[in-house]
Amino acid sequence: MDRGRLDRGAAAVEFALVLPVLLLLIAGILDLGWLLSTQLTADDQAREAARSLALAYDPLTQTGSTDEAAALAGVGSPSGCGTNSTVHCAAFTQCSADVTTATATVRTPVSYALSGLIPGLPALVTAKASVPCPR
Protein backbone atom coordinates (compact mmCIF):
# COMPACT_ATOMS: atom_id res chain seq x y z
CA MET A 1 0.00 0.00 0.00
CA ASP A 2 0.95 3.61 -0.54
CA ARG A 3 2.33 5.38 2.55
CA GLY A 4 0.42 8.67 1.78
CA ARG A 5 -2.86 6.80 1.70
CA LEU A 6 -2.27 5.36 5.19
CA ASP A 7 -1.40 8.77 6.70
CA ARG A 8 -4.43 10.56 5.25
CA GLY A 9 -6.65 10.19 8.35
CA ALA A 10 -3.88 10.57 10.92
CA ALA A 11 -4.19 14.37 11.07
CA ALA A 12 -7.93 14.17 11.81
CA VAL A 13 -7.34 11.64 14.61
CA GLU A 14 -4.54 13.76 16.13
CA PHE A 15 -6.75 16.86 15.95
CA ALA A 16 -9.59 14.99 17.66
CA LEU A 17 -7.23 13.96 20.47
CA VAL A 18 -5.68 17.41 20.98
CA LEU A 19 -8.84 19.54 20.64
CA PRO A 20 -10.40 18.78 24.09
CA VAL A 21 -7.13 19.56 25.86
CA LEU A 22 -6.73 22.78 23.88
CA LEU A 23 -10.31 23.89 24.67
CA LEU A 24 -9.82 23.10 28.36
CA LEU A 25 -6.62 25.16 28.39
CA ILE A 26 -8.34 28.11 26.69
CA ALA A 27 -11.29 27.96 29.11
CA GLY A 28 -8.85 27.86 32.06
CA ILE A 29 -7.07 30.96 30.77
CA LEU A 30 -10.42 32.75 30.39
CA ASP A 31 -11.44 31.78 33.93
CA LEU A 32 -8.14 33.08 35.32
CA GLY A 33 -8.65 36.35 33.44
CA TRP A 34 -12.20 36.63 34.80
CA LEU A 35 -10.94 36.01 38.35
CA LEU A 36 -8.28 38.73 38.01
CA SER A 37 -10.81 41.15 36.51
CA THR A 38 -13.23 40.51 39.38
CA GLN A 39 -10.42 41.02 41.92
CA LEU A 40 -9.50 44.36 40.35
CA THR A 41 -13.15 45.45 40.36
CA ALA A 42 -13.49 44.52 44.04
CA ASP A 43 -10.28 46.42 44.85
CA ASP A 44 -11.62 49.51 43.08
CA GLN A 45 -14.98 49.27 44.86
CA ALA A 46 -13.32 48.88 48.27
CA ARG A 47 -11.00 51.82 47.60
CA GLU A 48 -13.89 54.03 46.47
CA ALA A 49 -16.02 53.00 49.45
CA ALA A 50 -13.21 53.78 51.92
CA ARG A 51 -12.57 57.12 50.19
CA SER A 52 -16.28 57.96 50.27
CA LEU A 53 -16.45 57.07 53.97
CA ALA A 54 -13.54 59.37 54.72
CA LEU A 55 -15.02 62.20 52.64
CA ALA A 56 -18.48 61.79 54.18
CA TYR A 57 -17.03 62.37 57.65
CA ASP A 58 -17.13 65.93 58.95
CA PRO A 59 -14.41 66.37 61.60
CA LEU A 60 -16.08 69.48 63.04
CA THR A 61 -19.42 67.84 63.78
CA GLN A 62 -17.93 64.31 63.90
CA THR A 63 -20.77 62.95 61.79
CA GLY A 64 -21.08 61.11 58.51
CA SER A 65 -23.47 58.83 56.71
CA THR A 66 -22.34 55.27 55.97
CA ASP A 67 -25.26 54.71 53.58
CA GLU A 68 -24.45 57.91 51.68
CA ALA A 69 -20.79 56.91 51.37
CA ALA A 70 -21.74 53.43 50.20
CA ALA A 71 -24.08 54.85 47.59
CA LEU A 72 -21.35 57.18 46.35
CA ALA A 73 -18.98 54.22 45.98
CA GLY A 74 -21.64 52.11 44.26
CA VAL A 75 -21.43 49.20 46.69
CA GLY A 76 -24.92 49.31 48.16
CA SER A 77 -25.92 49.56 51.77
CA PRO A 78 -23.57 47.98 54.33
CA SER A 79 -26.57 46.23 55.85
CA GLY A 80 -27.78 45.03 52.44
CA CYS A 81 -25.47 42.07 51.90
CA GLY A 82 -26.50 40.24 48.74
CA THR A 83 -28.94 42.88 47.47
CA ASN A 84 -26.62 44.29 44.80
CA SER A 85 -26.01 42.13 41.73
CA THR A 86 -22.26 42.85 41.62
CA VAL A 87 -21.38 43.22 45.30
CA HIS A 88 -22.27 40.37 47.60
CA CYS A 89 -21.45 42.05 50.89
CA ALA A 90 -19.71 45.17 52.14
CA ALA A 91 -18.50 45.95 55.65
CA PHE A 92 -17.51 49.46 56.69
CA THR A 93 -15.65 51.14 59.54
CA GLN A 94 -16.65 54.78 59.48
CA CYS A 95 -14.58 57.69 60.72
CA SER A 96 -15.43 58.91 64.21
CA ALA A 97 -13.74 60.63 67.11
CA ASP A 98 -12.07 57.33 68.08
CA VAL A 99 -11.48 55.86 64.59
CA THR A 100 -8.70 57.47 62.54
CA THR A 101 -8.99 55.29 59.43
CA ALA A 102 -12.04 54.59 57.26
CA THR A 103 -12.03 50.94 56.19
CA ALA A 104 -14.16 49.16 53.60
CA THR A 105 -14.26 45.43 52.90
CA VAL A 106 -16.06 44.24 49.77
CA ARG A 107 -16.90 40.62 48.87
CA THR A 108 -17.84 39.96 45.24
CA PRO A 109 -19.06 36.62 43.83
CA VAL A 110 -17.17 35.01 40.94
CA SER A 111 -18.68 32.67 38.36
CA TYR A 112 -16.54 30.45 36.16
CA ALA A 113 -16.96 28.60 32.87
CA LEU A 114 -15.19 25.57 34.38
CA SER A 115 -16.63 25.78 37.89
CA GLY A 116 -17.03 22.02 38.28
CA LEU A 117 -13.81 20.96 36.58
CA ILE A 118 -11.20 22.91 38.54
CA PRO A 119 -11.40 22.41 42.33
CA GLY A 120 -10.35 25.13 44.70
CA LEU A 121 -11.46 28.19 42.74
CA PRO A 122 -12.75 30.89 45.10
CA ALA A 123 -16.48 31.60 44.99
CA LEU A 124 -16.01 35.04 46.57
CA VAL A 125 -13.28 37.60 46.02
CA THR A 126 -12.52 39.83 49.01
CA ALA A 127 -10.89 43.26 48.88
CA LYS A 128 -10.12 45.60 51.75
CA ALA A 129 -9.05 49.25 51.60
CA SER A 130 -8.26 51.89 54.21
CA VAL A 131 -8.11 55.68 53.93
CA PRO A 132 -7.04 58.08 56.71
CA CYS A 133 -9.85 60.18 58.16
CA PRO A 134 -9.68 63.97 57.89
CA ARG A 135 -8.74 65.68 61.13
Mean pLDDT of 101-118: 79
- CA–CA dist 75, 89 (Å, integer): 8
What is the tally of helices (H) and strands (E) in the chain?
3, 3
pLDDT 10s digits, 55-65 = 876 665 655 66
pLDDT of 78 above 70: no
Phi, psi of 93 (to 5 degrees): -120, 110
DSSP class per residue in 89-117? EEEEE---SS--EEEEEEEEE---TTTTT
- CA–CA dist 22, 9 (Å, integer): 20
Domain ranges of the chain: 3-132
Mean pLDDT of the chain: 75
pLDDT 10s digits, 20-54 = 999 988 888 888 888 898 899 888 888 888 888 78
Edge-to-edge strand list for the sheet holding 124-132 = 89-93, 101-109, 124-132
Q: Looking at residue 75, what is its pLDDT?
A: 57
Name the more confident of 24 and 5.
24
Q: Looking at residue 90, what is its pLDDT?
A: 67
- CA–CA dist 27, 94 (Å, integer): 41
Name the more confident of 11 and 113.
11
Which amino acid, residue 108? T
- CA–CA dist 120, 32 (Å, integer): 12
User: What is the band of 79 on the pLDDT scale with cuts at 50, 70, 90?
Assistant: very low
Q: Looking at residue 121, what is its pLDDT?
A: 76
